[in-house]
Amino acid sequence: MLSITPLFVLLFVVMNIVILMPIGPYRAKVGVPFWGGEEKLDRLVRGHGNFIEFVPLFLVALATTEYLGTASVVVWVGGLLMLAGRLVHYVGMVALTNPTPARLVGTLLSLTALAVVALSIGWKVITS
């Protein structure tokens, strides 16, 4: 039974809602019905897009890791790394207007989270 992954699913669903909510109203405010040309809107859209590019696959991998019986500390570390990575990346993408290392740091944290769960899955597959 999965006991840790559902908490991260909940956290990422809430985060998805929070980062998605400002896009529609801001799009209406600036009068841009689709893509392009307005920097803040582009940052909001890309911030959400980057989230969607990472989180679904990660949650599948995290659930697989937990299902295979990996130590709970590995599941927690992977989940917390991804959560921190996506938060830091989003802040760097949307909230900070000047060039910032936050986007890179967030991406590196997210990639590390993916590597942790991928390696744990690989280890379980090889050793069982």
* 78 vs 75: CA distance, rounded Å: 5
Whole-model pTM: value is 0.92
Residue 22's Cβ-side half-sphere holds a number of Cα atoms within 13 Å equal to 14
Confidence band, pLDDT 50/70/90 cuts, at residue 128: confident
**Domains and their CATH numbers in the chain:** 5-127 (1.20.120.550)
pLDDT at 99: 65
* 90 vs 41: CA distance, rounded Å: 13
Q: What is the tens place of the pLDDT at every residue in 49-87?
A: 999 999 999 999 999 999 999 999 999 999 999 999 999
